[in-house]
Amino acid sequence: MTIARKIALAVAVIVILCIGTMAWLTNANLQRGFIAYLNDMQAQDLDQVSQLLAERYRREGGFEWLRHRPRAMKEVLDQMAPQLQMEPDAPGERRREREGRGVYGPPDRQGPRDGPPDDPEGRGPPRDEGRSAYGPPRRGDNGRPPPPRRDEAPRPPRPRELQDPMAFAARLTVKDEYGESVMGPRNPPAGIERPIMVDGRKVGTVQLLLLRQASGQSATAANFLRTQTRDILLLSGVLLLVAMGLAVGLARHMLRPVTALHGVTARLARGELAARAPVLSRDELGELALHVNAMAQELERNETQRRQMLADVSHELRTPLTVIRGEIEALIDGVRKADQQALESLHSEVLRLAKLVDDLHQLALADTGDLHFDMHEVELQSVLSPLLERCRPRAAAAGLALRWELPPQPVTVNGDARRLEQVVVNLLENSIRYTDRGGVIVLALRVRHDGRQLQAEITVDDSAPGVPAGAHARLFERLYRVDQARTRERGGSGLGLAICKAMVEAHGGAIAALPSEHGGVRIRITLPVITGASNQ
């Protein structure tokens, strides 16, 4: 499975969990909120019932007219203006009518109906004002609607009026001031309760059983909840599809830099070091592309240097070997006598070849980190003074004046005295070899502060000739020569400064080439001074 598919799948799973949880919580909150809304509406209806019962109590002088007489309770409810209504042909209402419960609840099982003998259904006498939202239609003496008068035009049939939507009447309980049940169950569960107050005195209570769920009470409420649930699920499905589409697009967009990097790294693995990755963003992937490009550039540079070094080394080895071969062949052919001079010439070429091989070996050790150092506190004056005295005759033989400037205070660094001496000797040998006769070589030791710590600074200046502008930084490249036409006697191998650079950096220092005020080249070495071991 590709990374794009993994990202798309992970985003899709997260979105499914989020949307599913949101849909479930929304549906649950809707259920609870809707039931709370219904109970709040019926609590307002209960306030009306409490007032109507108080008015009837005041007229009748008690609750005897209501005790176990559902028909009397219907008359009270007919005077209400209910907050919730529904069509009478709703499935819940038809079911209650088929079961013989009537509009308000189960049939009277607590006592006889209070209708007249000729009213077997217990509907009571007809009402003049028609019926209310909770009451049955207006009836005649025979239980049927009265016929229209002769002088009245026949009225169009009335639409079916709204009836009790939540079995409000069946959930009512009326108790007198002694707590005895007048209407409804004797010990109903806790619900909404209102006092019945007459002239500031509590004469009873009316209680309404709370709705726990709407689906079993009203088809309209159940249809409402089903519709809302269906809409929530439909919206969740649409959001899920949109989120999955966006996840796939986002995964592809995010992985475009990865695809480009994959192609570039594959080309680098095949040896195409000129390959570069496009930087398509400024985030972590963009930084990764920059790092891959930097790595490719460094690999290409190293490969170029390796090839150049192989070519230069082969050339450097070929020259002394060619000379040695020519001289040996001349001796064999009798062209040249095997005298002291011939042997010294062969020995010189062998030493030159051995020096080149030794330099290459030291560079290889420096590259692999196997160039060993014996680090300890080294006082630079004690290393430089005897070395300079030994090099003065050699400089004088070349027609050069060697001078030095050393501070009286000891300058101590942490290093290998033998390796540091080797570095200074290489620098002095370069100056003696390349400086024109009659010139000067000046070595100076100073202590400076670079803003962070004390640094010991060793400078080697020589006089003309110098190097062209821009060539100073390349002096430390392996086998680099400013003048490719130099003779072998002056040119050397081109590895000395590269070896010096590796050794100085191994001491935690730095080396640089600059123009000299004497007209030649200045080589500057900086080494960290051991704190407290030297004075400016």
Residue in the block written with tokens 């609590």: 43
Environment class of 231 (CB within 10 Å of its CB; exposed 0-12, middle 13-18, buried 19+): exposed
Q: Among candidates 381, 394, 386, which has minimal Cα distance to 458?
A: 381
Say what the pLDDT of residue 218 is: 56
Report, as an integer, the average pLDDT of 39-59: 88
In this predicted structure, which of 50-59, 146-155, 439-448 has the lowest mean pLDDT? 146-155
Beta-sheet pairing, 401-405 with 440-449: parallel
Total residues found in the chain within this entry: 536
Domain boundaries, the chain: 1-80+167-270, 273-371, 374-528
Q: From CA 105, how far away is CA 228, in angstroms rounded?
A: 29
Query: Can you read off the two tokens belonging to residue 26?
Result: 């929304």
Give the residue, 393 or 27, on which the prediction is more confident.
393
Please, which pLDDT band fits residue 214 given cuts at 50, 70 and 90?
A: low
Please, which pLDDT band fits residue 129 given cuts at 50, 70 and 90?
A: very low
In this predicted structure, which of 125-129, 220-224, 450-454 has the lowest mean pLDDT? 125-129
Cα-based distances in Å from 331 to 319, 335, 349: 19, 6, 15
- Exposure of 347 in the CB half-sphere (CA atoms within 13 A): 7
Q: Cα-atom radius of gyration of the chain, to the nearest Å?
A: 55
Q: From CA 461, how far away is CA 318, in angstroms rounded?
A: 33
Q: From CA 218, how far away is CA 223, in angstroms rounded?
A: 8
**374-528: CATH, from 3.40.50.12780, 3.30.420.40, 3.30.565.10, 3.40.50.720:** 3.30.565.10
Environment class of 284 (CB within 10 Å of its CB; exposed 0-12, middle 13-18, buried 19+): exposed
Give the residue, 135 or 209, on which the prediction is more confident.
209
Residue type at position 396: A
Beta-sheet pairing, 412-415 with 376-379: antiparallel
Please, which pLDDT band fits residue 163 given cuts at 50, 70 and 90?
A: low
Per-residue pLDDT reduced to its tens digit, 313-365: 776 677 778 878 888 888 888 887 878 888 888 887 788 788 778 877 777 77
Domain pair 273-371 / 374-528, same fold: no
High-pLDDT (> 90) share of the chain, %: 6
Report the top-level CATH class of 273-371.
Answer: mainly alpha
Which residues does 418 contact at the CB level (< 8 Å), separation at least 6?
374
Residue type at position 73: M
Sheet containing 172-176: order of strands: 181-183, 172-176, 201-209, 191-198
Q: From CA 369, how far away is CA 303, in angstroms rounded?
A: 20
Give the residue, 70 or 313, on which the prediction is more confident.
70
Report, as an integer, the average pLDDT of 487-504: 70
SS (H, E, C) 267-321: HHHCCCCCCCCCCCCCCHHHHHHHHHHHHHHHHHHHHHHHHHHHHHHHHHHHHHH
Helix 496-506 vs helix 417-434: crossing angle, to nearest 10: 150
Rounded mean pLDDT of the chain?
76
Give the residue, 356 or 386, on which the prediction is more confident.
386
Cα-based distances in Å from 345 to 178, 260, 333: 139, 60, 17
Per-residue pLDDT reduced to its tens digit, 425-444: 888 888 888 888 889 999 99
pTM above 0.85, yes or no: no
Please, which pLDDT band fits residue 493 given cuts at 50, 70 and 90?
A: low
Which residues does 321 contact at the CB level (< 8 Å), separation at least 6?
353
Per-residue pLDDT reduced to its tens digit, 167-213: 788 888 898 888 888 888 888 888 888 999 998 889 899 988 887 76
